[in-house]
Amino acid sequence: MARSAHYRQQAIEILSDLHVSLSWRQAIASRLGNADHLLAMQSPGAEDNSY
């Protein structure tokens, strides 16, 4: 999990770097959005009582 947090932090830093082309930043933002969506689908929600 620590490695994924490191990659996410790097991606966020790249998103704020205006020297990186817009197309690259958009692609990275899209990948982060997809990763967030997948993570949300895997994580138990407040309504999940599966423990």
CA distances from 37 to 19, 32, 33, 51 (A): 28, 9, 6, 22
Inside any domain, residue 49: no
Inside any domain, residue 19: yes
pLDDT at 39: 83
Inside any domain, residue 43: no
Number of domains in the chain: 1
pTM: 0.72
Inside any domain, residue 36: no
Inside any domain, residue 26: yes
CA distances from 46 to 5, 40, 43 (A): 23, 12, 10
Inside any domain, residue 39: no
Domain extent for 8: 2-31
d(CA 46, CA 11): 28
pLDDT in tens, the chain (51 residues): 688 889 999 999 999 999 999 999 999 999 999 988 988 888 676 565 555
